[in-house]
Amino acid sequence: MTTPDQYTLLYDGSFDGLLSAVFTVYAGKYPPDCVHITADPNDTDLFGHTVSVTSCAEHAARVLERLQRQLGRRGIQTLLYGFLINDKDMPDTFLRIVRLALAQPDRPNIFSDYGHPDVMQWAQWVKTVGREKHHMEAFVRFEEYHVQSEPEPIYIARIEPQFDILPLITRFFRNRYADQQWLIFDVGRGYGVYFDKTAVHQIRDLDTPGEHAVPSERERHYQKLWQRYFKSATITSRINLRQHRQMMPQRYWRYLTEKRPVLP
C-alpha cells in the first residue's frame, strides 16, 4: 500500500493569497487531506511536494464569490476576522472550513455548528480578534501635529496591536472623525492608513520626528491637562493593579497619554 503524496502550498500571507491557495487545491484536484497551506518557507515537508502559489486577484475573486453566495456577507466577515489571527494552524483550518461549507451547499450558516472542532476553533479566533479590535477603538490616542506646507493639523496615532486589525478599525475612525485629517500607523507591521477628509490611503512610511512635523503647542497643553486630571482623579489607596491590567492591558500603555511621564 502506497502512502499518498503530501503537498505543501506556500502562499504570500495575504487574504487573496490564501483564497488563491484554495483555488489551487480545487483546480489542481489535490487530495485535501494531503494538503498543508503555509506562509512560512521553513514550514515545508522535506519528502513532500512544495507548490508556490502566486496571489491571483481573479482566482481569489472566484473563490470569494462562491463563498459569499453561500455564507453571505456576515460569513465572509467571520472568515476575515479568523484570518487575522496570528496562528500557524489558521490556513489549514481555513481550507477545512471552506470544504465544510462547500460540502453543505444547502446550509448557509455553518458557523453555528459549534460541535465541529474547526468551527469552534474559528469562533475562538474570531472572538480574540474582535476583542483586540474593540480595545484598539477604545485605546487609540491621537496627537495633533503641524506639518510644513499644510494649513490644517493632522492627527496621528501609533498602535502596536497583537493582530493586524488596522483594516477592521479604519471604518470606525473614518465615521467618527470625518471632518479631520488623521493617520493611524501600525508600528510593528510598518504601515498605516491616512484619511484626508475624502478617502483613506495606505502608507508605508511614517516620518514625524525632525523638521517635517512637530507636535503642536495646543497638543502639549492638552496632554498636560489630561495627565494632571488623571493623576488628581486617582485614589491611591484604592488602586487595584490586577483589575486595572485586566480592563486596560499593559501592552497598550506605551501610547496612552495618561501612562506617560507627566510633562513639565
Please indicate, yes or no, if residue 106 is contained in any of the structural domains: yes
Q: Identify whether residues 191 and 207 lie together within a single domain.
A: yes
Q: Identify whether residues 68 and 159 lie together within a single domain.
A: no
Please indicate, yes or no, if residue 264 is contained in any of the structural domains: no
Q: Identify whether residues 11 and 127 lie together within a single domain.
A: yes
* Final residue of a structural domain among 133, 153, 185: 133
Supply the pLDDT for residue 263.
63
Supply the pLDDT for residue 145.
87
* Final residue of a structural domain among 99, 133, 167: 133
Distance CA 67, CA 126 (A): 18
| One-letter amino acid of 165 | I
H, E, C per residue of the chain: CCCCCCEEEECCCCHHHHHHHHHHHHHCCCCHHHEEEECCCCCCCCCCEEEECCCCHHHHHHHHHHHHHHHHHHHHHHHHHHHCCCCCCHHHHHHHHHHHHHHCCCCCCHHHCCCCHHHHHHHHHHHHHHHHHHHHHHHCCCEEEEECCCCCCEEEEEECCCCCCHHHHHHHHHHHCCCCCEEEEECCCCEEEEECCCCEEEECCCCCCCCCEEECHHHHHHHHHHHHHHHHHCCHHHCCHHHHHHHCCHHHHHHCHHHCCCCC
Please indicate, yes or no, if residue 205 is contained in any of the structural domains: yes
* 102: helix, strand or coil: helix
Q: Identify whether residues 151 and 255 lie together within a single domain.
A: yes
Average pLDDT for runs of 10 along the chain of length 264: 73 95 94 90 80 94 94 93 94 95 84 92 96 92 81 88 93 94 92 94 68 69 81 78 75 78 65
The pTM score is 0.82
Closest CA to 172 of 190, 144, 193: 193
The answer to whether the beta carbons of residues 132 and 84 sit under 8 Å apart is: no
Q: Identify whether residues 106 and 184 lie together within a single domain.
A: no
Q: Identify whether residues 115 and 13 lie together within a single domain.
A: yes
Q: Identify whether residues 97 and 181 lie together within a single domain.
A: no
Supply the pLDDT for residue 2.
42
Please indicate, yes or no, if residue 159 is contained in any of the structural domains: yes
Strands 49-52 and 182-186: unpaired
Structural domain range at position 85: 7-133
Distance CA 89, CA 80 (A): 15
Supply the pLDDT for residue 25.
95
